[in-house]
Amino acid sequence: MSEDDAVQEPTPDPPESAHDDETSRRHMSASTTRRVLAAVAIGAIVAAIATIFIAGGFRKDHDLTTRPPGEKVDSTGAVAGEAFGTAKQGECLTWTAVDASDIGKVDCSEPHQFEVAAEIDLSEYPGSEFGPGSKFPGVLRFTELQSEHCLPAVQQYLSSHFDPKGKFDVGLINPGEGGWAAGERTLRCGLKFAKTNGEYLPITGPVTGQDQSKVWDTGICIGISQNLPTDPVDCAKPHAFEVAGVVDLAAQFQGAPPSVEDQDKFLAETCAKTVDQYLGSPDALRNKTLTLFPDEALSAESWLSGSRKVNCFIGKGATEGFAPIVNSAKGDILIDGQPPVPPPPVPEGRSLPTPLPGAPAPTTAPR
């Protein structure tokens, strides 16, 4: 994403009370959070497309025969491999090779990269597009097939409890060019957990019944590229923000999906306490010139799918997006390559809010 695509942030309204001062100084507004973290959602779209390259990356072998439409192919020993050719709904697959040529089955309780939700046999569809001798589909066509067939299949597999904004994405694995040349026309639709660059992350346990909330463990740092968040990295490397905690909204809300406003209010209060505890002092956040902000409130669709958890983050706003931070906020940090300079003590009854990303600092204290 170019700098022109980065999120522009509005100038915050002056707080109306000492309490509002403190809230503005410590928190990024809910609307700001949603705009900045939209970059993560865009990254997820990129990942969904990028995985097609991985899914189509089985080793090639063009010296194989084709088959009549509808005739089942035993792909044991062929390019697609036994695991791919026999994978059924509810089974889990894993691999280590970049082209997934060593794909194999594993118990879903073990770390894996893909959980099969459905088999789609393209030979059952009329026409010549997928018939004998047909050309191996390109990336865009597989993307269309994933949208057309895999999303509905995953929804059905999870009994309509799939969270489209959660940690898992819809995925598709095809038999590769060699398997296609052999006449294999079966696709595997399923669930994956991927980085923004399309690289698969391990899943442990069946997705069915899991809380699908897209949360990271406390202490994880999220990398940065062109001032925008990317994927988890070592905190000693430049990053956009750090995970200070996980909030379970089920502790506060029951039944119907809570409103975004109610979630924002609860998260602002809860994350403030969480961050103070994480950093070990109520003054640490201010002294390090950082800002706390919760992840986006859960949508009604996410709530009804069973998602209940949200992260509390700490970072530093820049003119566009985030400023790069090195090292964990629990210790000594560098922001844009420099150690933070603690601001002067706040005068009794007055304070200056920390500017949000893209917003100029106020020149006078709010009244």
Q: What pLDDT shows up at residue 196?
A: 84
Q: What pLDDT shows up at residue 4?
A: 38
Q: What pLDDT shows up at residue 69?
A: 40
Element (H, E) at 86: helix 81-86
The alpha carbon torsion through 259, 262, 264, 270 (nearest 10 deg) reads: -140
Q: How far apart are CA 108 and CA 203, in angstroms?
A: 8
Averaged pLDDT for residues 173-181: 89
Q: What pLDDT shows up at residue 305?
A: 93
Residues 361, 309 contacting (CB under 8 angstroms): no
Q: Read off the pLDDT of residues 98-144 as tens digits, 9 standing for 90 and up.
A: 778 889 999 999 999 999 999 999 999 888 899 999 999 999 999 99
Picking from 263, 271, 314, 310, the residue whose alpha carbon sits closest to that of residue 165 is 310
Picking from 317, 321, 329, 322, the residue whose alpha carbon sits closest to that of residue 281 is 329
Q: What mean pLDDT is reported for the chain?
A: 79
Q: Read off the pLDDT of residues 26-62 as tens digits, 9 standing for 90 and up.
A: 555 555 555 555 444 444 444 444 343 333 333 333 3
- Supply 69's token pair: 């439409």
pLDDT at 174 over 60: yes
Label residues 30-50 b or e (16+ Cβ within 10 Å = b).
bebbbbbbebbeebbeebbeb
Using CA of residue 155, residue 157, residue 160, residue 164, what is the dihedral sign? negative
User: Quick check: helix, strand or coil at residue 361?
Assistant: coil
Q: What is the pTM of this model?
A: 0.72
Q: What pLDDT shows up at residue 47?
A: 43
pLDDT at 363 over 60: no
Q: Read off the pLDDT of residues 300-356 as tens digits, 9 standing for 90 and up.
A: 999 999 999 999 999 999 988 999 999 999 999 999 999 999 998 877 665 554 544
Q: Which amino acid type is present at position 219?
A: G
Give the confidence band of 63 by pLDDT, cuts at 50, 70, 90: very low
Q: What pLDDT shows up at residue 29?
A: 54
Pairing state of beta strands 221-225 and 186-192? unpaired
pLDDT at 216 over 90: yes
Q: Read off the pLDDT of residues 148-165 as tens digits, 9 standing for 90 and up.
A: 999 999 999 999 899 999
Averaged pLDDT for residues 272-281: 96
Residues 39, 321 contacting (CB under 8 angstroms): yes
Q: What pLDDT shows up at residue 136?
A: 93
